[in-house]
Amino acid sequence: MSDVQAPESTPAPGGGADIRPRAERLLTDILGLMGFPARLDFKDASDGSLSVALHFQGESPPGVEPGKRSQVVDSLQFLLNKMLHRPGNERRFLLVGVGTHPEPRSERLKREQAAAQAAAAQAAAQAPAPQPSAPAPAPAPRQAKPARGQSAAAPQQARTPAAPARPGEADERTMEVAEDPALREIARKLAEKSASLGRFYALVTLKQDDRARVLKAVEGVPGVKVSCEGEGRNRRVVFTPEKPAPLPKRSMLPEDDDEDDLEG
């Protein structure tokens, strides 16, 4: 189905001999269907998990860079672990990296904790010494009560101007961008599919200009609402149908799978 190749390696104890062939076949099929063939390099990680490095034979998927985490890599890793681990079977976590083997989660947490402690110690050392507290101000003199028939002018209290609101994400609907015919056709087809099937879809790893093009392209498509949600690298275009339809039971994930156990 694809040109994906995996070198032979010695199985590791603790379940590695069971999931390695299945992981190879799944990655072969998924990457082949994506149109991004890659060479697979398996390795036993120090924490007992199984690590695989993807060496793409051509261009990498959009938003994917060697040695860096991305939403595409995280989604692929999550999907593989869901497919490899079934209720009642022994679990061995699979790590996915691009261009190099990813750092095991336990080692990454230790490194981040050490960096946080070093930063806290440096901030404490650079903090200025506490200044002696100033004496409490003397109480204001009590104003005499005005005589009958005289009007007392109420003192005007100075009002502190409110701090300006923190600017949020730019609104893609107000941006002026050039039309991309190919992106327009894909976006409208996805919007029509969301409306007809009642499914929720999301487009991730798009640049701000492309998100604006998608919003303009789907204007006028009935039965679906399209908007941008999230901030930074997690900002995405969301397709929300007016009449959502429930997923069939056969496509739902097992209830006893713990997503926290499958984080890389």
Query: What secondary structure does DSSP assign to 24-45, as a single string?
Result: HHHHHHHHHHHT--EEEEEEE-
- Residue 261 is classified by DSSP as G
pLDDT at 149: 56
pLDDT at 145: 64
pLDDT at 233: 85
| Structure tokens belonging to residue 37 | 């063939």
pLDDT at 123: 82
Q: How many helices (H) and strands (E) does the chain have?
A: 5, 6
pLDDT at 158: 45
Q: Give the CATH number of domain 16-106.
A: 3.30.300
Is the separation of the CB atoms in 12 and 94 below 8 Å? no
Tell me which residues of the chain have a pLDDT lower than 50: 1-17, 152-158, 160, 162-166, 259, 262
pLDDT at 222: 95
What lies within 8 Å, CB to CB, of 235 at 6+ separation is 169, 211, 228, 229
The architecture of the domain spanning 172-248 is 2-Layer Sandwich (3.30)
pLDDT at 104: 81
Q: In terms of Cα–Cα distance, which of 89, 91, 96 is closest to 26? A: 96
pLDDT at 186: 93
pLDDT at 127: 73
pTM of the predicted structure, to 2 decimals: 0.40
pLDDT at 58: 84
d(CA 146, CA 144): 6
Q: Which residue ranges make up each domain of the chain?
A: 16-106, 172-248
pLDDT at 101: 87
Taking only the tens place, the pLDDT of each residue in 151-187 is: 544 444 445 454 444 455 668 988 999 999 999 999 9
| Structure tokens belonging to residue 22 | 């299945």
What lies within 8 Å, CB to CB, of 218 at 6+ separation is 187, 188, 191, 224, 226, 239
